[in-house]
Structures are given as structure tokens and as C-alpha cells.
Amino acid sequence: MPGPAVSQFLIRAERLFFAAALVASPFRLRAVLAHRPVGTIYGDYTDFLFFISDGCVLLLLTAWGLRLVVEKRAPDVSPKSLTFVLLAFTVIAGLSSIVSVDRALSLYHFLRLASMLGFFVWVVDSHIRPARLAWPVATMVGIQALVGIQQFLSGVDASLQPLGEYELDPAWPGVSIVSAGGERWLRAYGLSDHPNILGGLLAFGTILLFLHGIRSTGFEASILSGAYLGGLIAMAVTFSRSAWLAFMVAQVFMAGVLVASRQFGLLKRQAALLALGAAALLPIVGSHPALFSVRLGGSNAFQEVPQEVQSLGERALLNVAANEMFVKSPILGVGLGASPQALAIHRATLSTHYQPPHNALLAAAAETGIFGAAVYALLLGLPWLYFIARQEASVAGVGVYALLLAATLIGFFDYYTWLLAPGRFWQYLIWGLAAVQIARPSEAADE
């Protein structure tokens, strides 16, 4: 087979594996490579896991590597500044394994970060734009929305355990619920590991679908807008406050840029889609106002509802403990991915489950030390320097930065963009989209 034909075949394979990875990204379906129980710490923090999305990414990277060989070229890594910072962060994170409280675990997470670095470079080299994500994201959002909404309305799981779904009952301890008026309501898990994770990924997905909706018309736009509405309802019933906030702030950001750049036609489309979303949410919110009020602190919920008090209290406690660990191990940290075990050593009588702090930057500081935290902070901030310098106003560009803003906000309140496979996948994808936007802004304007 001639070289160009092989290259085209591999490109199609890469796109197929990429689409599969997007669809599979929320799924908790995985193989346990090594079961490593450590006291009462949740097994997912210590086990070696291989998710279905991991397999898709590895197949993608394999096909891409073969294509680079066939094409006899090195990958495009522009902008080099962002790629270099991400490479430096990966190296620093790997060095933390030297002093880690669980060296094997830190090396495992280093390998995962290395694969994500490769994924980031593939996104950059392949010039991936938001428009290419529309249908895979719509599929992902549609699947998770159907399952998640059914879980909330029925109050139990959807009997999809072969796909990785938890067995769920709001009466069981450990199941995430919202409590109001003495009733326990199941939060939507979908096929993910936790409602907060599902909520965050639905926030990313609905922002992408929203972006497509304000830029397109016709049958395709109608189908994708339907997926957007389903995702919005499902995100609502995850009751993830960080996901809600991320979506809303992203919308305010997009509206602000559209106003500043005088793109009033697109602003009207944005307002219409937001109004349509509000109408879709009205039945579910109107029929369960107390549940949404509780999650927003109504009726003194943050002081009187045990689940909300515990949720906020454990976050504050974990963040304080993580800061104390950072002060004790400021150079290389306690080891990449090892903060739950380090916390068990540091606070043997902690009155909550051992887990990373609910702040990605603080988790980076505790696990990889001051240099890792500094480079991670640079990763979060560097794209915005380009945004300010170039006064980005293209619709695709604004959408990418809205995604970046959403991921950063979620990282302020949760750790899954730092530690867990679904969050890492989307964080690195969004960084990759930002890198493509920075390197080729004129292409985005014509997209």
C-alpha cells in the first residue's frame, strides 16, 4: 500500500479511536490491573486501573506513532511554550515518585500523565478543533443523559452493571443523595463514578454543543441542540454545584466577548439557546424546588442539612490537611497520586474519608511540591496571556476559552481534573484545543 494511502488509513483510525475515547470518557467501566488495598482508603485511590477510555487513547497513540513513521516527520508541537510547560510539569510530577509514600503508585500515575502528554501532542499535531468534537460529544452526552435522568426519576440504578453502572439506592450509605423534607433523592451518576464527575463532563459537553448551536442552522444543529438540552437536564440532576457554576460562568464569559466584539447576531442566538435551556429545565426544577434550593444553601441548608454540612466541612478539612502536608514536604511533595495515603499518615484520626484535597492546584502542591504547583499554575494561566494579547473574538476561539475557564473553575472545587481518568482526559483535551487555537487563530476564524 503506498505511503499516502497508509497515512490516510491511519488518520481515519485515529479519528475513530478519538471519537470512541470521547464517548467512553465518563464510563467507570475498567479492568483492575492490580488490587492494592491500603487500610480504609477507597480502592480507586490505590489500585492500578485501566479504563475503556485508556484503551481508546492507547490505540489512538499507536496509530499516530505509525503515521509519523510513515510520513517521516516529527510531530507539530506549536505553540512550543505551552508544550514545554506541560512537558516540564510531567517531568516534575514524575520526580515526586522519588520521595513518594507509595512509589509504585506515583510511577503508575506518571505513566498515565505521560500518555496524556502524548494525547495532548496528538491533539496539537492533528489540529483538532471544537467542530470535530460535535457528534462524539453529542453521543456521549446523550448516553449519559438518558441513564442519569432515568436514575434520578426512578430513584434507582438502570440495571446497566455490565456497562459499569453502580448498583444504586438512595437508602444505602455511601450513595450520593440530596436530602430535603426528610426525603433522600438519588443524584444522577449516569455510567460514571460519581455525580460530580458526570456533572463536570456534562458541563464540558454542553458548552461544546452550545457553541455548535449558536454557529449552525439546519437539521444537524437541531439534533445537536437536542443533545445539549438533554445534557443540561442531566447536569441539573447531578446536583453538582461546581458543574452548574462552570456552565454559567462560561456563558457569561462568551456573552461578554460577543458584546465586546459587537457580534450581536450571535449574542441573540446565545440568548435564544439559553432561553430554550431554561424552558427545558423548568419542569424538573419546578417539580423539585426544595432539592435545588438545598444545594444552593436555601433554608439554612449549609448549617442544618447533614449532607450539605458534611460536604462543605470535609472539603475545608481536607484542604487544611493538604496545606499542612505541603508545608512539611514543600520541594517534591508526598508523591504523585499518593495524597490519600500521605493524609492517612499525617492525620491518623481524620474525621472524613482519606482523599485528595478538593482543589486541583492544592493537590498539585501537596503531591508534587512547590515546583510542580508553580508549573501547574502556569499551565492554567499561560493560555490566558495569549487571549489577552490577541483579544480573541472568533466564535471557535471564544468557545475554547470558555471550556478552559470551566475546567479551571471545576478544579477550584474538586480534584478529578487532577487525579481521575475522566477529568484528566478532558483537562488535557482542553489544553490541546487551546494550544491549537493559540497556534492557528486564523484557521479558527474560518472554521
The average pLDDT across 133-147 equals: 97
61 within a domain of the structure (yes/no): no
Amino acid, res. 189:
Y
Q: Does the pLDDT of residue 352 top 90, yes or no?
A: no
Q: Does the pLDDT of residue 2 top 80, yes or no?
A: no
Which residue's C-alpha cell is 450581536?
Answer: 264
First to last CA, the chain: 32
What's the grid cell of residue 257? 466577548
157 within a domain of the structure (yes/no): yes
The average pLDDT across 282-311 equals: 76
DSSP 8-state code for residue 175 = S
Rounded-to-integer distance, Cα 25 and Cα 19, Å: 10
197 within a domain of the structure (yes/no): yes
- Percentage of the chain beyond pLDDT 70 is 95
What's the grid cell of residue 217? 442552522
Query: Where residue 329 falls among pLDDT bands split at 50, 70, 90?
Result: very high
Give 226: exposed, middle or buried? Use CB within 10 Å, 0-12, 13-18, 19+: middle
Rounded-to-integer distance, Cα 423 and Cα 433, Å: 15
Cα 82 to its chain centre, rounded Å, is: 19
> Average per-residue pLDDT in the chain?
92
What's the grid cell of residue 435? 494550544
Q: Does the pLDDT of residue 131 top 50, yes or no?
A: yes
207 within a domain of the structure (yes/no): yes
User: For the ranges 6-15, 137-146, 383-392, which has the lowest average pLDDT?
Assistant: 383-392
- What are the tens digits of pLDDT across the range 353-365? 889 999 999 999 9
Predicted local distance difference test score (pLDDT) of residue 218: 76
Phi, psi of 296 (to 5 degrees): -100, 10
Query: Where residue 64 falls among pLDDT bands split at 50, 70, 90?
Result: very high
* 302 vs 58, more confident: 58
56 within a domain of the structure (yes/no): no
CA distances from 431 to 114, 119, 208, 297 (A): 15, 10, 14, 33
Given its phi and psi angles, is residue 296 left (phi above 0), alpha (psi -120 to 50 degrees) or beta? Answer: alpha
Q: Range of 277's domain?
A: 74-445
What's the grid cell of residue 301? 441548608
182 within a domain of the structure (yes/no): yes
1 within a domain of the structure (yes/no): no
3 state SS of 446 = coil
**To which H or E segment does residue 433 belong?**
helix 421-439
Contact 45, 101 (CB under 8 A): no
Contact 31, 87 (CB under 8 A): no
Rounded-to-integer distance, Cα 25 and Cα 53, Å: 6
Rounded-to-integer distance, Cα 271 and Cα 33, Å: 48
59 within a domain of the structure (yes/no): no
Give the CA angle between residues 354, 347, 193 to the nearest 5°. 5
Q: How many domains does the chain have?
A: 1
Contact 323, 358 (CB under 8 A): no
DSSP 8-state code for residue 231 = H
Amino acid, res. 384:
W
Rounded-to-integer distance, Cα 363 and Cα 63, Å: 33
Closest CA to 409 of 189, 193, 192, 251: 251
- What are the tens digits of pLDDT across the range 225-245? 899 999 999 999 999 999 999
**To which H or E segment does residue 138 belong?**
helix 134-154
Query: Where residue 446 falls among pLDDT bands split at 50, 70, 90?
Result: very low
Closest CA to 97 of 336, 281, 293, 342: 336
Contact 246, 430 (CB under 8 A): no
Give the 3-state secondary structure of 354-383.
Answer: CCCCCCHHHHHHHHHHHHHHHHHHHHHHHH
